[in-house]
Structure 1
Amino acid sequence: MTIDFDLQTISVMTAIVVVVAGVTFIADTLVRRDEVAGRIWALAYLSGILTVLSYLFWAANNDAWWAVAVGNAGYVATAGCLWVGARAYNRRPGFVWVFVVLITVAAAIAALIEGPTGGDWAGAGLMFVAIAGFAGGAGVESLTGSMGANPNARALAGVLLLQSAYYAVRTVVFFSGGADSELFRTAFGTASSSFIVVTVTIVGAISMSVLRADRARLRGIRRPRVTDEAAGLALGGLESLADGWMRRGASRGRGIAVLAVRFDTLEAMTTAFGRNAADDMCAAWTDSVRQHCPPFSAVFERAPGSLIVISPIEPGTDARGIADAIIDGLLDPGMADLGGIRPTATIGVAESDPAEPDEGAPAIIARAEATALYAIALGESVVVATDAPTEPRTA
């Protein structure tokens, strides 16, 4: 049993899908007060709604030939906004939107120039080329940056690249054989293009909704960075600072504790949400470490997800307590489960000997970092090194 649909039925069904998906996405955007990428994608759906309504109006009233120009411009704007939105999600600066606006206006003018005699395909050539280019750009952009690192963007990239390839071939067939050729009518006519539109609309709505929801979880963790004594110092400057603390504290029996902090879940965050989102999360975790260190501690970011904490300690102070406070801070209700991933850290601890103030900060820092690697191998959250660097003990 086969079911045959006429072109009018296909057009109406396509319009219903686009309008329903578009209204839902736009309404959700208004409720969320979304960031720039989400608002641009909502504009893409608004343009899509304008496109299908214009084409339906033209189908119902052949005297309204100008509706083809409006529909063509809306279709080009839809693909262009998907590209600009993807760039905005990846935080790529630029004025590509100016190019999209110019091409959109050109698509409308191309259809208006042909006038009533252009029929259904007035200005189609330029529109096909523009859609192929913008959809391809959006598909490639979805595989790079923050979107590329998010698995939820892969389906979106797939349908956009499919749309780009379809319109690239459709353009060649259109210019080589014309809209009346048998190949164009059967393989690249309204029925097949409607299938592409419905696929992009549905997959796009789902993928982009998930993408912006993931980004929305992270908006609340962006905090201003807290400066301290180590801000802006190179590692050599930090070592000089620690050496000074050891020399001044030696006469009073005071030393320093060096903590090598590794954020274990940073890699998972990068894979799930991309480098930009991971950087925001790492900044929030670093601020948490600063807040839970003793006063006058210096926190140095050696590399993304790798911190060196140096803190003066009184005689008899257990440096493990400092590490435990940092771990507890990361598990605070205000930090836990942000972005859907619970932050965890591994900390290697080394202490200076007040009787040996000339030991040197580089040696203690190296001991703390070696202990952190040992803790990772053991699967422990905190490991404190003994006086013998080769014999760290778990704590």
Structure 2
Amino acid sequence: MTLDVPTLLVVATLVILTSSGMFLAEARAAEAVDRLWSLAFVAAIATALAYLGSTLYPGLWWANAVGNAASVLVVWTMWSGIRAYDERRSLIHVSVGVALLAAGAVLLQGPGASAWAGGWAALAGTAAGALLAGAAILRGPLRGFRSGALLAVTLLAGGAYYAVRLLLYVVEGPYSRAFETYAGTAATTLVNVLLVNGATFAALAIRTRDAQERAAEHQNFDPMTGARTNLSFEPRTVAQLRRSAESCSPAAMLEIVPEGVEALETAFGRPYADAALVTCGEIAQTLLPPRAIMGLDPGSGRSFQVLVPGWDEHDAVEWATQVRKELIDTPVEVPGSRVRVTVSTGIATAHRGGYDLGDLCDAAREASLAAVAEGGNRVRVSTEKAHDTH
């Protein structure tokens, strides 16, 4: 079956409308990148509708001006959005200006102009914008994401294709056999559908990833265990250690490592391993003294860090032993049985390790690993001395 150009344009318009609508439906007006990329996908829809209109109704000569301007605006607003993602000025006025130039190249020739009036401006503008946008991704943080790499490849491929179209347009002319065969309306319609779909899926993946990261960043407490996430744990502990250092007050950092969690997950499934973590977190928080700060260790996600100002080694060991005994007395229900969860705790104090959060965390973590290596279910105090900062 062979599709004529008008039918092909109708099908392409429906596909572009559907794929672009997927991004528009999920876009957030409050986000600068979403606004700019939404404009790009609206322009993609406008491009398809304008060219369809000019093909079905040749008297709509101005539709070519709209289509050319919209085609240019697609890639240039993608470029503006990428700049905004990189936290640079979007330069949206440049994108709009280039699109207006493409429209002006048609409008200046008036109603008597041919269907390819101003074609050179549209082809050059689209090629330049796509290549600039792809290069901007390769220079920025998006290049580190697979979805960003996909978007870069899509834009660079589109830019290369339109550069070839421009070359054929200038050398052979828009009505030549070479141009019609390799860069004509039918071939370009198919290429544009692929490019718009590829850009849509890449942009959606980038947006989803960013939304998940923002949600995690704004979450101060782990919803499962109730412990603080690193976002809120680190600044609070740093501030507390600074106050303790100013008054030369004692402070203790504890690393609580639940043991056997992986074995529970292997034997009974993830929910029972999570139940063991929840139990450990609940008991530790129930026994926490005033002003203590408890968080999840960002390195493992399955151990807890506790900073207690005013405590020395003796206080920390006594509390850690209490947590260990309480946890043994609180078994976790598993299918057909109950399992006792043990913990090993590493302790580091400001008296030995200084008031630097990183040093205290490292010392407590190493002590907990040593406790686990010694057989587990025990408390170990770090003997690491404070670093000489002179």
Range class of TM-score, shorter chain:
0.5 to 0.7
Partner deviation per Cα, 1:99-122 (whole Å, 9 max, x = no partner): 101101111111112223432211
CA 1:25 to 1:118, structure 2 compared with 1: closer, same or farther past 3 Å? same
Q: Determine if contact 1:367/1:385 at 8 Å carries over to the other structure.
A: no
Call closer, same or farther: CA 1:374–1:50 in 2, change over 3 Å: same
1:19 maps to which residue? 17
Distance change >3 Å, CA 142–CA 178, structure 1 → 2: same
How many positions carry a matched residue from both structures? 318
335, 356, 372: which one aligns with 2:365: 372
**Corresponding position of 1:244:** 248
Q: What are the Cα deviations for residues 35-59 of structure 1, in whole angstroms up to 9, with x where unaligned?
A: 3322322222211121121112212
**SS of 1:245's equivalent?**
coil
Using the TM superposition, give the Cα deviation of residue 6 of structure 1 relative to its aligned residue in structure 2, in angstroms.
2.5
Q: For residue 210 of structure 2, what is the aligned residue in structure 1?
A: 215
Confirm or deny that 1:9 pairs with 2:7. Answer: yes
Find the partner of 1:350 among 344, 347, 356: 347
Measured in 2, the distance between the counterparts of 1:383 and 1:126 equals: 75
Partner of 1:268: none
The CA distance in 1 between the partners of 2:46 and 2:213, in whole Å, is 33
- Give the C-alpha shift of residue 97 in structure 1: 0.7
Map of 1:340 onto structure 2? none
Q: Secondary structure at the match of 1:94?
A: coil
Alignment counterpart, residue 87 of structure 1, candidates 83, 86, 102? 83
Any conservation in 2 of the 1:320–1:384 contact (CA below 8 Å)? yes
> Match for residue 123 of structure 1?
118
2:39 to 31, 36, 43: 43
Per-residue CA deviation, residues 183-209 of structure 1 (Å, 9 max, x unaligned), is 222111112211221101222222222
**Cα distance in structure 1, aligned partners of 2:94 and 2:81:** 14
Q: How far did residue 352 of structure 1 move?
A: 4.0
Distance (whole Å) between structure 1 residues aligned to residue 52 and residue 185 of structure 2: 13
The within-5 A match list for 1:127-276 is 127-143=122-138, 145-221=140-216, 222=218, 228=236, 230-231=238-239, 240-241=245-246, 244-246=248-250, 256-259=251-254
Normalised TM-score (structure 2): 0.66
Aligned counterpart, 1:264: none
Instruction: Tell me: CA distance 1:364–1:352, structure 2 relative to 1, closer, same or farther (3 Å).
Output: farther
For residues 15-74 of structure 1, give each alpha carbon's deviation from its aligned partner in whole angstroms, at most 9, with x where no partner exists.
221122233432343xx6673322322222211121121112212222221111111111
Superposed CA deviations along residues 193-246 of structure 1, whole A, max 9, x for unmatched, are: 112211012222222223222222344342697665844x9x9x68844x8114
Is residue 348–residue 360 contact of structure 2 (8 Å, CA) maintained in 1?
no
Q: Normalising to structure 1: TM-score of the pair?
A: 0.65
Tell me the C-alpha RMSD between the 2 structures. 4.5
Partner Cα distance (2:51, 2:195) in 1: 18
Call closer, same or farther: CA 1:129–1:351 in 2, change over 3 Å: same
Quote the residue 2:354 is aligned against: 361
Distance in structure 1 (CA, Å) of the matches to 2:128 and 2:353: 60
Q: Structure 1 residue 171: deviation in Å?
A: 1.5
Identity %: 25
Aligned mates of 1:364, 1:25 — CA distance in 2: 43
Q: CA deviation at 1:160?
A: 1.5
Query: Residues 381 and 159 (structure 1 numbering): CA distance in 2 closer, same or farther, change over 3 Å?
Result: farther
The unaligned stretches of length 5 or more in structure 2 are: 221-230, 257-286, 325-343, 386-390
Q: Classify 1:50/1:382 alpha carbon distance in 2 versus 1 (closer, same or farther; 3 Å).
A: farther
Describe the shift of the 1:376–1:52 C-alpha distance in structure 2 as closer, same or farther (beyond 3 A). farther
Q: Aligned partners of 1:212 and 1:101: how far apart in 2? A: 24
Which has the greater radius of gyration? Answer: 2
The answer as to whether partners of 1:375 and 1:382 remain within 8 angstroms in 2 is no
Counterpart-to-counterpart distance in 1, 2:48 and 2:65: 12
Q: Verify the 8 A CA contact 1:230 1:298 in the aligned structure 2.
A: no
Q: 1:192 to 1:364 in 2, by over 3 A?
A: closer
Matched, 1:71 2:71: no
**Pairing of 1:303-314 with structure 2 (within 5 A):** 309=307, 311-313=309-311
The residue that corresponds to 2:315 in the other structure is: 316
Name which of 53, 56, 65 aligns with 2:52.
56
